[in-house]
Structure 1
Amino acid sequence: MDRAGEQLRPLTLVRYARAMSLPLDGLDTAVLVPDKAPLSELHVVEVQHEHSGEGVDEDFWSAVTVAPVHEGAWATVRTLFRRGVRPTGPARIGASTVDPDLHAAAAAAVRDLHHSQRSTSATTSTTTSTTTPGTAQAHQELEAWVQEVAELAERTADRLDDPQTWTRRAVSIEGRAYAMWTHHGTTGFAACADVGFALLSTHGPQSEAPSSLRLLTPQVVTSTWS
């Protein structure tokens, strides 16, 4: 599938540091979360914004990542919405109509797993690098590492049909079974699934991906915390 059209979307990706994350009551649509995770232990750490139409100020979230408040307590789950399922204004004329696909979800899961590993190691241990943080050299090294991880994620996603790279099993969402592909890394898992209205991309330090997820709506959040 040609994914070049993805670049045409009018979108903005916003990542939040854990200290600046959004509470769940900021959700503007239903998202996937680990089935047994208490709401108090989850928060939004990344959103992808798209504008609803030309000349319309309203925008909406086309992808939402929910993570545990305490690192590693639960899997981190990203919901990548298909176009046309969001309840908002008309599509912008000339915008891409290409949906995210399973390859994109797989690559995102692998990439996010490596990013989380680097973030965790940076906050829990002393780095062995002799490069001074904040310098131009440190910035170049980080950019090179990000590019290396992106290429690794693409290569890994290209092997979705390889049972040695990805194992396939069922994941339950609201009582329905969907196929999930899981890649096991040295310090965690990366997994993806096509659940109809969206693509699922998840990762975590656990040895296995979650066997069940639930759909969390803004209404449930409001009624729980009201």
Structure 2
Amino acid sequence: MTIPLTGLDMPVLVPAGVPAHALCVLATGHGRVGSSPSYWEDVSIGPRPEPEAPADASPAWSLRTIARRGCRPGGDGGWTTDGGLRSIAETAVTSMLLKLVPYGASAAETLRSTEEAGATGRAVAARLDDVRTWPRTALDVDGHPFVLWLHRRPEGFAGVADLGPCRVVLHGRRPPPSWRFTLLSAEAAQTAFGA
């Protein structure tokens, strides 16, 4: 199934040197405050599954670009706000662990695993300043270095970066081929992945 990017209004980060046909859009997110128009929040991409892979197999890695939208008013008095690095670090670790919850598990086991993943995500994200938990490395985006906070554990990896106009969440069993990426404009992402 192809997830369309029709109306995309945000940039999308993709691995440099990886052809678009080897990637696919895994998920998209939209937001809204009150009765205001909806807006794009995020786009997740990952490697296209191998034809022989089981239908329920999760990709080896996932790269989620989160638009920075700032504090925006809504028609009902509410507003939006961008989360900080700890917030997206929690998302990265929790998402990585949630991919390990087995399909077909009982409701009780699924609930326990989900709660455990969330608690671990919060605990690990709280240590974002600890270089033993989150060593820093360079993330190359179109030739410009950005800080990548990278957490590794037996189950896989989680990473976060702040690129200015967007923030990035990475997670999976193993990382992408390199830490080199390119930031596609909304138009280029629509062309690459189909509008």
The TM-score normalised by the length of structure 2 is 0.80
Structure ID, larger Rg: 1
Question: How big is the shift at 1:73?
Answer: 7.0
Which whole-Å CA distance do the structure 2 matches of 1:203 and 1:39 have between them?
19
Question: How big is the shift at 1:154?
Answer: 0.5
Aligned partners of 1:183 and 1:191 also within 8 Å? yes
Return closer, same or farther for 1:217/1:52 CA change in 2, 3 Å cut-off: farther
Matched, 1:64 2:50: no
Which whole-Å CA distance do the structure 1 matches of 2:115 and 2:22 have between them?
32
Q: Deviations over 1:39-73 (max 9, x none)?
A: 1122222222212662x5x4222122112222687
Tell me the matched-pair count: 185
Question: How big is the shift at 1:100?
Answer: 1.5
Which whole-Å CA distance do the structure 1 matches of 2:108 and 2:142 have between them?
45
For 1:66-215, what aligned pairs fall within 5 Å after superposition? Answer: 66-70=45-49, 75-84=61-70, 91-93=73-75, 94-118=77-101, 122=103, 133=104, 138-206=106-174, 210-215=178-183
Aligned to 1:47: 28
One-letter code aligned to 2:85: L
One-letter code aligned to 1:65: S
Q: CA RMSD in A?
A: 2.8
Aligned to 1:130: none
Which whole-Å CA distance do the structure 1 matches of 2:7 and 2:167 have between them?
18
For 1:1-20, what aligned pairs fall within 5 Å after superposition? Answer: 20=1
Q: 1:153 aligns to what SS in structure 2? A: helix
Which whole-Å CA distance do the structure 1 matches of 2:32 and 2:108 have between them?
32
Return closer, same or farther for 1:209/1:181 CA change in 2, 3 Å cut-off: farther
One-letter code aligned to 2:94: R
Which whole-Å CA distance do the structure 1 matches of 2:165 and 2:118 have between them?
26
Structure 1 gap segments, 5+ residues each = 1-19, 123-132
One-letter code aligned to 2:115: Q
One-letter code aligned to 2:26: V
Question: How big is the shift at 1:179?
Answer: 0.7
Question: How big is the shift at 1:38?
Answer: 1.6
The structure that is helix-richer by fraction is 1
Q: Deviations over 1:191-219 (max 9, x none)?
A: 00111112111012226784111112342
For 1:24-43, what aligned pairs fall within 5 Å after superposition? Answer: 25-26=5-6, 28=8, 29-43=10-24
Q: Deviations over 1:134-179 (max 9, x none)?
A: 7xxx112201210110010000000011122110011111221111
Aligned partners of 1:105 and 1:201 also within 8 Å? yes
Structure 2 gap segments, 5+ residues each = 50-56
Q: 2:69 aligns to what SS in structure 1? A: coil
Which whole-Å CA distance do the structure 1 matches of 2:127 and 2:24 have between them?
31
Return closer, same or farther for 1:209/1:100 CA change in 2, 3 Å cut-off: farther
Q: 2:115 aligns to what SS in structure 1? A: helix
